[in-house]
């Protein structure tokens, strides 16, 4: 994760890791192992993160200790917009994990793995091919400066371990 991404990253907002899927989104079967390993990685976390399914069951989002920030959009040219938009991100000790199921080999805009340093938080991007599957996970882990590093490592390892 030492590389920096030069491209802006626009991730489709996903919702996350339910004990059972949301009423309107049945969780894709390929995401069931993701739920299992993430539950293990966050088992000692208190309070429990908010978890949702999104994108018709093709995605998950886990979030804890978040807040709304006013963000100035930065174009690829480096130009900073004078207008702001609201964006939910992790507080100084929170995190937001977004996981999206894709077809294996799908190419994304950002080179992965990489780390993007946003004004108020850091975001790791990566792709994990799913073992015994034609799918891959495209995931983003956003975290604050004081988020527990052991927790972040456990989530990263859990997701990367799904390739074995």
From the centroid of its chain, how far is CA 65?
Answer: 15
Residue 4 in any domain: the answer is no
For residue 154, being part of any structural domain is answered with yes
First to last CA, the chain: 19
Number of domains in the chain: 1
Task: Identify the pLDDT of residue 25.
Answer: 57
Q: Per the omega criterion (within 30 degrees of 0), is the bond before 58 cis?
A: no
Residue-number span of the structural domain to which 119 is assigned: 29-163
Count of beta carbons in the 10 Å neighbourhood of residue 150? 8
Q: pTM to 2 decimals?
A: 0.82
84, part of any domain? yes
Q: Are 115 and 5 in contact (CB under 8 A)?
A: yes
Residue 158 within a domain: yes
Q: Which residues pair with 101 in a beta bridge?
A: 137
129 within some domain: yes
For residue 48, tell me if it sits in a domain: yes
Look at residue 1 in the predicted model and tell me its pLDDT.
Answer: 40
Distance, CA of 14 to CA of 66 (rounded, Å): 15
In a domain, residue 21? The reply is: no
- Alpha-carbon gap, residue 145 to 94, rounded angstroms: 9
Residue 9 lies in a domain: no
What pLDDT, on a 0 to 100 scale, did the predictor assign at position 164?
Answer: 84
The per-residue pLDDT for 50 is: 87
- pLDDT > 70: what percent of the chain? 85
- Separation CA 45–CA 147 (nearest Å): 12
Tens place of pLDDT per residue across the chain (164 aa): 443 343 333 332 233 333 444 444 578 888 999 999 999 999 999 889 988 999 999 999 999 999 999 999 989 899 999 999 999 999 999 999 999 999 999 999 989 999 999 999 999 999 999 998 899 999 999 999 999 999 999 999 999 999 98
């Amino acid at each position: 994760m030492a590389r920096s991404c030069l491209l802006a990253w626009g991730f489709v907002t996903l919702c996350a890791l339910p004990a059972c899927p949301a009423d309107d989104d049945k969780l894709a079967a390929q995401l069931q192992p993701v739920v299992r390993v993430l539950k293990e990685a966050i088992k000692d976390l208190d309070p429990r993160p908010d978890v949702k399914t999104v994108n018709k069951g093709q995605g998950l989002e886990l979030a804890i200790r978040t807040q709304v920030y006013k963000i100035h959009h930065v174009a690829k040219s480096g130009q900073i917009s004078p207008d702001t938009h609201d964006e939910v991100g992790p507080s100084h000790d929170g995190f937001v994990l977004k996981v999206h199921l894709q077809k294996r080999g799908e190419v994304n805009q950002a080179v992965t793995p990489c780390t993007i340093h946003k004004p108020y938080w850091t975001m790791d991007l990566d792709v994990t091919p799913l073992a015994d599957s034609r799918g891959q996970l495209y995931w983003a882990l956003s975290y604050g400066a004081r988020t527990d590093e052991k927790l972040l490592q456990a989530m990263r390892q859990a997701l990367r371990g799904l390739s074995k």
